């Protein structure tokens, strides 16, 4: 089950070409975070969603995703969690 305190939805004050930069952060544990942000490629001129694993304000690994595929990824993650009873796994782990 998702703990609301572990999720922080932030829209950064920084702007890129007049648009606010979208940003969300999920606290994991041990100082690790998963960040989700909308980025723009200066080289190719297109936007993408970056999902990164961070610790000590350093990106340790990252994954770039087309904005068209973000909803599909989210729905697939939810389906995976439901199919594998991950809510029950989390409840058992916390007991």
Listed residue (35, 7, 5) closest to 23, CA to CA: 35
Which residues make Cβ contacts (< 8 Å) with residue 48, sequence separation at least 6?
38, 39, 40, 41, 64, 65, 66, 67
β pairing state of 7-16 and 58-65: unpaired
Is residue 72 included in any domain, yes or no? no
Is residue 37 included in any domain, yes or no? yes
Is residue 85 included in any domain, yes or no? no
H/E segment holding residue 95:
none
Query: Domain count of the chain?
Result: 1
> What is the DSSP code (8-state) at residue 30?
T
**What pTM value is reported for the model?**
0.67
Domain, as residue range, for 40:
4-67
DSSP string, 38-80: EEE-TTT--EEEEEEEEETTEEEEEEEE-GGGHHHHHHHHHHH
Is residue 89 included in any domain, yes or no? no
Is residue 75 included in any domain, yes or no? no
Predicted pLDDT of residue 1? 42
Please, which residues bridge with residue 55 across strands? 32, 58
Predicted pLDDT of residue 17? 58
Report whether 27 contacts 6 (CB < 8 A): yes
Is residue 48 included in any domain, yes or no? yes
Is residue 59 included in any domain, yes or no? yes
How does pLDDT run across 30-85, given as a tens digit for each residue?
999 999 998 888 888 888 999 999 998 888 899 999 989 999 999 999 999 999 98
Is residue 78 included in any domain, yes or no? no
How does pLDDT run across 7-41, given as a tens digit for each residue?
444 444 455 555 556 888 889 889 999 999 988 88
């Amino acid at each position: 089950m998702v703990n609301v305190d572990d999720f922080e939805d932030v829209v950064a004050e920084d702007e890129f070409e007049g648009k606010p930069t979208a940003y969300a952060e999920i606290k994991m544990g041990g100082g690790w975070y998963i960040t989700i942000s909308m980025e723009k490629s200066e080289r190719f001129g297109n936007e993408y969603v970056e999902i990164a694993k961070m610790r000590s304000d350093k990106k340790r690994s990252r994954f770039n995703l087309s904005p068209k595929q973000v909803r599909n990824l989210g729905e697939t993650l939810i389906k995976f969690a439901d199919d594998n009873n991950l809510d029950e796994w989390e409840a058992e782990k916390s007991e």
